């Protein structure tokens, strides 16, 4: 996120797209409701599914799934044509504008309407609502990223924000809402295959030399080649290129696409280790299960969506044979030949401070007084709530000329519906924790497929009828929920329920850069079971 969560209270307009905020990020949704009810903020929701936040929106647009670049380009075409672009900001702070502008010429309202299904009047109204606001914020989540065009979708939102001068200002920005607690911190700490901590690239000689020195290694011992991304590991296992896999706190046998293939990949491994707090569907397949601990049973830090590093303090005694995750990792490292010793989580943070410029001033002593937003390079620095205030991190903001690209899998006569997956309020991710509690299971005891009443009537389907949903990868049977939340031709199924694993159907086609699967668009056929 470029801006703090509370900045939406300063926004004139907030564009919400690809995020079911009230169900996936309910605390953040409270800020949005407060912004509307107490501060006069106008919300613009653009999403293929009619989410609850639409009730608070000034305007709602329902584009066809997988057409995000087209409607974003369409709004920018109108904004430029109407003279709403922040030209002084663009001239002073950005580059690449002429090529970008030329690419937008064909994205007329008529052309975009043909791709997205939105009317020309809807596109104009949305462009006006965002383009004339100062400042305006953009919020997005996995409805934008989980496409084969996910990286370009995000770049397009960046284009839109820069076009209107909304980057580096209070109440503005481009703000991804993180899907899991501390996923931001995991990325910050090098939980990506091409970087060390603080996004320092593994293929830069000076970076490798710095870490080699800090860890007492020879520089040539540090590999300059990036590793595999998550979605590349499983196919590599099937091909015999990955022999062993160590998974912590993840349940890919529920969450990953094309689950039948994932099962095959795991079976091909020579050795499989899972570290978790419960015996998940994935852990049941492991050769060794290492019992980790929950957030309440360890010391450390979490980094939230707005880049704020916060202390977590141990509140409960560790149960049974469970151990702190860092202690398990350190012991394995030591037994494999590299001695790793830390007396406490504070010692680990001191190492982070020493090797991570953006975390240089985020010490435990300072965190006792509250959280700090990175970058925070030294002990005198107050932290950075808003990014790109005076200039962009790269110097000038770069406009990208991006064209619409269709989803990897299109509907046809055999598979005429679009399947999209997501979450519900009562459960979280693969249900590893939330489905253990009786209360939440009473609220949402089973999975149902949302289908538009028009489609249901045409297929002779009534509420709670069992549906058979089939993709090119498999079939599931699930109860029907008649709902106008998805448009006609679209079916929505939550993925929390291992008993009816919708990811048996989803497509493992990947974004070429981020390698994230296209969960949000999958061609299916629907029939009464």
Residues 312 and 425 in one domain: no
Residue 259 and residue 309 share a domain: yes
Distance CA 447, CA 494 (A): 7
In percent, the amount of the chain with pLDDT more than 70 equals 100
In a domain, 410, yes or no: no
Residue 83, Cβ neighbours under 10 Å: how many? Answer: 8
Q: Which two tokens stand for residue 487?
A: 């448009």
Domain membership flag for residue 88:
yes
| Residue 322 and residue 422 in one domain | no
The pLDDT of residue 437 is above 90? no
Q: Both 153 and 14 in a single domain?
A: yes
- Do 211 and 224 touch, CB atoms closer than 8 A? no
Residue pLDDT, tens place only, 358-387: 999 999 999 999 999 999 999 999 999 999
Using CA atoms, how far residue 126 sits from 15, 76, 78, 132, 206, in Å, is: 9, 10, 10, 10, 47
β 288-291/13-17 pair status: unpaired
Q: Is residue 58 part of a domain?
A: yes
User: How many CB atoms lie under 10 A from the CB of residue 442?
Assistant: 9
How does residue 178 score in pLDDT terms, banded at 50, 70 and 90?
confident
pLDDT digits (tens, 9 = 90+) for 233-282: 999 999 999 999 999 999 988 887 788 888 999 999 999 999 999 999 99
In a domain, 204, yes or no: yes
- Give the span between the Cα atoms of 506 and 475, in whole angstroms: 10
- Alpha-carbon distance 509 to 148, whole Å? 7
Contact (Cβ atoms closer than 8 angstroms) between residue 81 and residue 108: no
- Note whether 156 and 69 are within 8 A (CB): yes
* Integer Cα distance of 446 and 493 in angstroms: 11
- Phi and psi at residue 287, to the nearest 5°: -75, -35
Q: What span, in angstroms and rounded, lies between the C-alpha atoms of 296 and 84?
A: 49
Residue 470 lies in a domain: yes
Task: Classify residue 315 as exposed, middle or buried by CB count within 10 Å of its CB (0-12, 13-18, 19+).
Answer: exposed
Biggest CA pair distance of the chain: 69
d(CA 59, CA 67) in angstroms, rounded, equals 18
Q: Is the pLDDT of residue 524 over 90?
A: yes
Same structural domain, 22 and 91: yes
Confidence of residue 451 (pLDDT cuts 50, 70, 90): very high
Which range marks the domain in which residue 508 is found? 417-528
CATH number of domain containing 50 = 3.40.228.10
């Amino acid at each position: 996120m470029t801006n703090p969560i509370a900045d939406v209270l300063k926004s004139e307009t907030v564009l919400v797209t690809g995020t079911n905020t009230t169900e996936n990020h309910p605390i953040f949704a409270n800020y949005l409701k407060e912004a509307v009810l107490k501060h006069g903020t106008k919300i613009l929701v653009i999403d293929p599914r009619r989410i609850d936040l639409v009730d608070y929106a000034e305007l709602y647009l329902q584009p066809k799934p997988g057409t995000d670049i087209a409607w974003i380009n369409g709004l920018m075409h109108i904004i430029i044509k109407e003279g709403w672009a922040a030209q002084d900001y663009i001239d002073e702070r950005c580059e690449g504008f002429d090529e970008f502008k030329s690419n937008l010429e064909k994205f007329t309202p008529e052309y975009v309407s043909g791709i997205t299904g939105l009317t020309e009047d809807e596109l104009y109204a949305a462009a006006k609502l965002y383009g004339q606001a100062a400042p305006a914020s953009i919020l997005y989540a996995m409805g934008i990223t989980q496409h084969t065009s996910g990286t370009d979708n995000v770049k397009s939102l960046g284009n839109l924000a820069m076009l209107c001068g909304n980057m580096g200002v209070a109440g503005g920005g481009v703000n991804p809402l993180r899907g899991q607690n501390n996923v931001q911190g995991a990325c910050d700490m090098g939980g990506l295959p091409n970087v060390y901590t603080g996004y320092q690239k593994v293929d830069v000689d000076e970076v490798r030399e710095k870490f080699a020195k800090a860890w007492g290694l020879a520089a040539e011992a540090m590999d300059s080649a990036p590793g595999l991304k998550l979605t590349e590991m499983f196919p590599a296992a099937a091909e015999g290129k990955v022999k062993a896999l160590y998974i912590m706190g993840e349940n890919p046998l529920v969450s990953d696409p094309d689950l039948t293939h994932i099962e095959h990949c795991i079976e091909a491994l020579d050795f499989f280790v899972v570290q978790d707090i419960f015996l998940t569907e994935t852990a049941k397949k492991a050769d060794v299960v290492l019992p980790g601990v929950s957030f309440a049973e360890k010391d450390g830090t979490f980094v939230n969506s707005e880049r704020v590093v916060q202390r977590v303090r141990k509140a409960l005694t560790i149960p049974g044979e469970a151990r702190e995750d860092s202690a398990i990792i350190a012991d394995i490292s030591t037994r494999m030949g590299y001695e790793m010793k830390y007396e406490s989580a504070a010692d680990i943070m001191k190492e982070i401070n020493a090797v991570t410029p953006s975390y240089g001033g985020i010490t435990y002593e300072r965190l006792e007084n509250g959280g700090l937003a990175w970058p925070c390079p030294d002990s005198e620095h107050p932290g950075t709530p808003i990014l790109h205030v005076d200039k962009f991190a790269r110097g000038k903001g770069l406009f990208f000329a991006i064209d619409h690209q269709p989803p990897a899998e299109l509907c046809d006569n055999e598979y005429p519906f679009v399947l999209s997956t997501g979450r519900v309020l009562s459960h979280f991710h693969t249900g590893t924790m939330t489905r253990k509690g009786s209360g939440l299971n009473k609220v949402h005891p089973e999975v149902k497929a949302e289908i538009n009443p028009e489609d249901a009537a045409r297929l002779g389907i009534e509420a709670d009828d069992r549906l058979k949903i089939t993709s090119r990868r498999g079939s599931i049977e699930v109860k029907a929920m008649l709902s106008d939340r998805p448009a006609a031709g679209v079916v929505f199924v939550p993925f929390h329920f291992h008993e009816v694993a919708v990811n048996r159907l989803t497509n493992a086609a990947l974004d070429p850069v981020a390698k994230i699967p296209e969960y949000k668009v999958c061609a299916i056929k629907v029939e009464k079971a």
